[in-house]
Copies of this chain bind each other. A is one copy, B any other.
Amino acid sequence: MKEYVVAILGATGAVGQRLISELEHAQIPVKEVKLLASKNSAGKKLKFKNQEIKVEEARPDSFNGVDLVLSSAGGAVSQKLLPEAVKRGAVCVDNTSAFRMADDVPLIVPGVNDDQLVNHHGIIANPNCSTIQMVAALYPLHVKWGIKQIIVSTYQAVSGAGKAARDELLQQAQDRLNNQETEAKILPTASAKKHYPIAFNLLPQIDVFEDDGYTHEEWKMIHETKKILYNDQDSQQIKVTATCVRVPVEIGHGETVYFVLKDKSVTAAAIQQEIKKTPGLVLQDDPQNQIYPQPLLAAGKKETFVGRIRPDQENPGAFNMWVVADNLLRGAASNTVEIAECLVRDNLVHVPK
């Protein structure tokens, strides 16, 4: 059985650490693990299956002899280093937005469109966290009945903006509880000119604004969804619009998803059945017993949780739904490692000539 040398790029970050623990349990025969990070983090020691591994500074030569790269070190780092890794024969699964919309880069949610991995040229992209959980929930419905339109509002946890954002939320909450003035330095996005408190607040800005008034996060949800669900001629016609809002939650994104099916005769019960039988999805939809997805219940889990499925009573074929998933696992590390598992399963861990 072939064994693989796996490098984790960005190993010390919130997603990087989850990549390590997900890889420990993955269906991937691992010969050796290399942990790569920025110069600042080099020398730190992290554990893989109880074995201590020293973090090395990521450089082009770090990828010599590496078969598989799991990357979550930021878009600029991916842009610079992944082509170097591919040049050295490594297949890269990238968790940043750097390559997602490139024509020759498959954008993959396992269980949805992993059949497209066969077309890879060395780099495979992991979609945005908020896209993954929505597409995972909608895909079985799209295959069975065809989706015409999606209108989504997100309730996104601060850990999506990194560990510093999570620390900031907790510090601001403590300041409020102490009745003290508080400070904001990270959110809505570190590069922004202005920062606003997130504790006990809502920020309708995730990532930077585009010229058309949509944020880049909203742009990602719209265009990544189209790219992933485009599995036949018709699918390109799916209309998608999104509003993304940051909420004072540590882990776990919520989404209200309004979707319109081509088939106007579908019932909520039929949708619940499809969700229930799809691997990776968990139906939590029993209102009379107050069963519905919640971030505190989804945190630490790899599945996507779906509930509150009910028809728009005045628009046949249209439904409301509530979807929750752990943004660091389902929305990042688990999806990345599952892509790597598919690559191993399908014997695709090699860069095509």
Give the B-binding residues of A (Cβ under 8 A): 149, 151, 153, 155, 170, 173-174, 176-177, 188, 192-194, 196-197, 200-205, 209, 212-215, 239-241, 243, 245, 247-250, 252, 254, 256, 258, 268, 287-290, 292-296, 307-310, 312-315, 318, 320, 322, 324
Contacts and interface: CB of A to CB of B under 8 A. Distances in A.
* Of A192, A204, A289, most B-chain CB atoms within 10 Å: A204
Contacts of A212: 310, 313
Main secondary structure of the interface of A (DSSP, over half): mixed
Chain copies in the assembled complex: 2
A200 B248 contact: yes
Contacts of A268: 213
A201 B203 CA distance: 16
A310 to B, nearest CB: 4
B254 A204 contact: yes
B201 A295 contact: yes
A133 to B, nearest CB: 14
A296 to B, nearest CB: 4
A288 B268 CA distance: 41
Nearest to A155: B202
Contacts of A290: 188, 192-194, 196, 205, 209
Contacts of A214: 310
Contact of A197 (B203, B256, B296): B296
B200 A241 contact: no
17 contacts: A151-B258, A153-B256, A177-B177, A188-B290, A201-B295, A201-B296, A203-B294, A204-B308, A205-B290, A209-B290, A214-B310, A215-B287, A239-B314, A243-B256, A243-B322, A245-B322, A256-B256
B200 A250 contact: yes
Most B CB within 10 A of own CB, among A205, A256, A258, A314? A256
A30 B312 CA distance: 47
Nearest to A315: B239
A249 B204 contact: no
A155 to B, nearest CB: 5
A157 B193 CA distance: 27
A147 B294 CA distance: 33
